[in-house]
Amino acid sequence: MSVAVPFAPSPTGLLHVGNVRLALVNWLFARKAGGNFLVRLDDTDEERSKPEYAEGIERDLTWLGLTWDRFARESDRYGATDEVAAALKASGRLYPCYETPEELNLKRASLSSQGRPPIYDRAALRLGDADRARLEAEGRKPHWRFKLEHTPVEWTDLVRGPVHFEGSALSDPVLIAEDGRPLYTLTSVVDDADLAITHVIRGEDHLANTAVQIQIFEAVGGAVPVFAHLPLLTDATGQGLSKRLGSLSVASLREEEGIEPMALASLLAKLGTSDAIEPRLTLDELVAEFDIAKVSRATPKFDPEELLRLNARILHLLPFERVAGELAASVWMMPTPAFWEAVPNLSRVAEARDWWAVTHAPVARRRTIPLFLAEAATLLPKEPWDLSTWGTWTGAVKAKTGRKGKDLFLPLRRALTGRDHGGQLKNLLPLIGRTRAHKRLAGETA
C-alpha cells in the first residue's frame, strides 16, 4: 500500500511557522516514501474560514516548494459523511443530545468547581423516547455525540512510541452540530478513510483527538492509520505560537523579513531533531536526510534570529541564477552575476539595493580626503577593467606612495564606496568604472 499523508490546515488565519513545519514534515515524509502529499482545507467552520486565508495557504506552500498531489476543500465534500453518520446512528454509537450551549457551560463550571474533570455526563443517553419527543415538541433540535467505548485506546506513535488513553477519561465528542453540520472530528476521519490515508502526522495538541478518532475509525470500519504527533513549536521565550503570531507568519517572513524559502525549510526540517541545523539549497537534500525517528519528544523553540542567520548563510551559498529574480525585484534593474559576486555578506536580498547604489549611482563627496588619493587617481589604468585591475592598480599605488595595509586600503575603500566596510574591491571596482572611480578619488560626488 502506498503512503498517503494529509495536511489539513483550516483557513481561519495566516499559516505560521508551526503550521508550515507540519506541512513540511508531512511533505518530506511522503516524498521520502515515494507517496502522496494531500492537502485538505478544513473549512467546515463557516464563520471563521475566509477565502483569502485559503489563498494564503496555497501561496505559502507553493513558495516553499511543497507540491501537492491533491488539493481539496472539506466544504466541497458536504454529504460525504451522511452515510457514515446514518450507520453510526443506527448502531447507537451516535446519540442525540439536547442541551443548549449555556446548559453545557453550566455543567462544566459545576464539575470544575467540584474539582472534577469537565467530562460530558451522558445525561442524554438516559433520555427515553418520550423525553426526546417532548424536547423536540419544544422546538429543540439535537446535536449528536459519539459514544466512546470506556476501554483503553492504544497506539504506537512514530514520534512518541507507545501511547495509552483511557476511554473513560475522555468526553463523548459532538460529531454533528445542531444545524446538521458534521464537525472536524468526523469529517477528518471520513476523509482519511476515503483517501486511504496511511499516516497522520500532526501536532501533539491532537493527542486526545487521536484517541477519540481511533475509536471512530474502528466504528466506521476504516483502516486506522499510523499516527505521529510532533511537539508543538514555541517562540523564543517558550510561548505558544498561536497565541502571539504576528511576525511569525510565513507571509511576513517572506514579505517583510526577506527570508528565502530554503532558509525556512532548512530550519524547520531540522529543528527539534538530532540532525544539526545546516543550510540546504534544495528540498531534495532535506528529503534524503529526513527520518521521522530523528524527531525528539521535547518542545523546540523557534528563534527568528536563528532563521535570519541561516538566511544569510543560504544567501552566501546561492548562485546568481537562484536569486536573479528576487534581486531584480529588489534593485529595479537587471543585475549581473558580477554584481552578485561583489555584494558582501547579505542577510537579506533586499540589502543588495545599498550596493547597487554604490556601483550604479552617485556617492556623495567626502569632506576630507587623504592627499595620496590624487596620485592614486592618476595611476588608474585604462579601461577595460576586469578582476585583475584592482591588484595591478593598488600595486602601482603602493610602489609610488609607499603606503600599505590598512593605511592604503581603507582610504581607497572609503573614497570609492563611501563606506568603511563592504565587499571585495576587486569585484566592486570594475562595476564602479573608471569615470566614477576617478571622480570619487578626487572627492567629487559621482
Partner RNA sequence: UGGGAGGUCGUCUAACGGUAGGACGGCGGACUCUGGAUCCGCUGGUGGAGGUUCGAGUCCUCCCCUCCCAGCCA
Residue 243 is labelled as binding a ligand:
yes
Binding residue for RNA (CB under 7 A) from 62, 67, 100, 336?
A: 100
Looking at beta carbons only, is 52 or 382 nearer to RNA?
52
Looking at beta carbons only, is 34 or 113 nearer to RNA?
113
SS3 assignment for 285-331:
HHHHHCCHHHECCCCCEECHHHHHHHHHHHHHHCCHHHHHHHHHHHH
Minimum CB distance to RNA, residue 118 (Å): 4
289 binds RNA (CB under 7 A): no
117 binds RNA (CB under 7 A): yes
Looking at beta carbons only, is 2 or 402 nearer to RNA?
402
For 393-421, b/e burial (b = at least 16 CB within 10 A) is: bbebbeeebebeeeebeebbbbbbbbeee
- The SS3 assignment for 228 reads strand
Determine whether 102 is exposed, middle or buried from the number of CB atoms within 10 Å of its CB (0-12, 13-18, 19+): exposed
Contact (Cβ atoms closer than 8 angstroms) between residue 182 and residue 175: yes
Q: Which residues contact 434 (CB under 8 A, 6 or more apart)?
A: 380, 382, 383, 385
146 binds RNA (CB under 7 A): no
Query: Which range of residues in 216-224, 325-333, 340-348, 364-372 is near RNA by CB under 7 A?
Result: 340-348
Site for RNA in 296-325 (CB under 7 A): 296-301, 303, 306, 309, 312-313, 316
238 binds RNA (CB under 7 A): yes
Query: Which range of residues in 168-176, 257-265, 322-330, 356-364 is near RNA by CB under 7 A?
Result: 168-176
3-state helix, strand, coil in the chain (%, to 5): 50, 15, 35
Looking at beta carbons only, is 179 or 334 nearer to RNA?
179
138 binds RNA (CB under 7 A): no
Contact (Cβ atoms closer than 8 angstroms) between residue 158 and residue 228: yes
Site for RNA in 31-60 (CB under 7 A): 42, 44-45, 48
Binding residue for RNA (CB under 7 A) from 277, 357, 380, 387?
A: 277
Binding residue for RNA (CB under 7 A) from 231, 304, 418, 433?
A: 231
Binding residue for RNA (CB under 7 A) from 184, 357, 362, 396?
A: 184
> DSSP code of 261?
H
Minimum CB distance to RNA, residue 375 (Å): 20
- Per rule CB under 7 A, count of chain residues that contact RNA: 86
Looking at beta carbons only, is 248 or 312 nearer to RNA?
312
Chain CA centroid to CA 51, Å: 19
Binding residue for RNA (CB under 7 A) from 164, 321, 361, 371?
A: 164
For 130-152, b/e burial (b = at least 16 CB within 10 A) is: eeeeebeeeebebbbbbbbeeee
Q: CA–CA separation, 424 vs 30, rounded Å?
A: 44
Looking at beta carbons only, is 414 or 444 nearer to RNA?
414
Binding residue for RNA (CB under 7 A) from 198, 209, 249, 266?
A: 209
Query: Which range of residues in 55-63, 80-88, 91-99, 191-199 is near RNA by CB under 7 A?
Result: 91-99
Minimum CB distance to RNA, residue 190 (Å): 13
Contact (Cβ atoms closer than 8 angstroms) between residue 399 and residue 393: no
Site for RNA in 358-417 (CB under 7 A): 405-406, 409, 413
Minimum CB distance to RNA, residue 236 (Å): 7
10 binds RNA (CB under 7 A): yes
Looking at beta carbons only, is 171 or 444 nearer to RNA?
171
Looking at beta carbons only, is 209 or 330 nearer to RNA?
209
251 binds RNA (CB under 7 A): no
Strand partners, 230: 203
Q: CA–CA separation, 29 vs 420, rounded Å?
A: 48
> DSSP code of 230?
E
Query: Which range of residues in 203-211, 218-226, 244-252, 368-376 is near RNA by CB under 7 A?
Result: 203-211
Q: Which residues contact 373 (CB under 8 A, 6 or more apart)?
A: 411, 412, 415, 441, 442, 443
Q: CA–CA separation, 53 vs 11, rounded Å?
A: 5
116 binds RNA (CB under 7 A): yes
Q: Which residues are annotated as a binding site for ATP?
A: 243
